[in-house]
Amino acid sequence: MVSQLPVNEQLDAFQEVLSRNEVLTEVLSRSASLGLPGWYLTAGCLFQTVWNAVTSQVPGDGIKDYDLFYFDATDLSWEAEDAVIQSAKHVFADIPVEVEIRNEARVHLWYEEKFGTPCPAHLSTEDAIDSFAATTCCLGVRLEPGGRWRVYAPHGLSDVFNLVVRPNPVLAPRAVYEAKASRWLRQWPELTVLPWPTAATSPLQSA
């Protein structure tokens, strides 16, 4: 099992599996050309590619979109973020997937209105990735100069390869976690979805 390999070998296996998704590698390559500060390709396109490999599905099946995060606190206006989005549309125009671009420095400005809970201002893209509703989502990959892969995985890769969805109750509300888990189960019924911790159960006790 990949999850029982040493960490460096897990990283090698992770990169090998992601490389089977030709759309992902193309999005990754073109994202690097944008020169966005602190960028990562993140979340579903990564762990769902692994799930597809583990469950013998086509690499890109069930992937709704490809999330591209960056961090630019020098201009928090929507106009500045939209300028990046519009410019990138030309870069990804011939790729048959939606690439969703977001400046994580701005998330605190709209998060509460959308999700009903305040969001402290993120300090980096990594900080934003840390706040995903499930620890399984907390992944980021980008290409460094020379083509080296940089992988951010604060909770490791074992759960991803073991098809375990684990709650991360640091920001997103329970309803967000449960809605995502329900949608994922329809595509990957092999998943083990761990329950959201109750008030009497801390995240450490539920792990």
Q: What is the DSSP string of 38-68?
A: T-EEETHHHHHHHHHHHTT--TTTT---EEE
pLDDT at 55 over 60: yes
Give the structural domain span for 120.
Answer: 2-206
Number of structural domains, the chain? 1
Q: What are the residues facing 56 on neighbouring strands?
A: none
pLDDT at 193 over 80: yes
Query: Residue 104 and residue 128: Cα distance in Å, rounded?
Result: 6
Query: Residue 35 and residue 125: Cα distance in Å, rounded?
Result: 15
The amino acid present at 170, given as its one-letter code, is: V
Q: Residue 204: how many CA atoms within 13 Å on its side-chain side?
A: 0
pLDDT at 6 over 90: no
Average pLDDT estimate for 175-199? 94
Q: What are the residues facing 165 on neighbouring strands?
A: 193
* 131, 172 Cβ separation under 8 angstroms: yes
Residues 63-104: tens digit of each pLDDT: 989 999 999 999 999 999 999 999 999 999 999 899 999 999
Average pLDDT estimate for 115-140? 95
Query: Residue 43 and residue 48: Cα distance in Å, rounded?
Result: 8
What is the residue-averaged pLDDT of the chain?
A: 92
Residues 12-48: tens digit of each pLDDT: 999 999 999 999 999 999 999 999 999 999 999 999 9
Q: Are strands 149-152 and 164-165 parallel, antiparallel or unpaired?
A: unpaired
Q: Which pLDDT score is estimated for 201? A: 45
Q: What are the residues facing 88 on neighbouring strands?
A: none
Q: Is 185 left (phi over 0), alpha (psi -120 to 50) or beta?
A: alpha
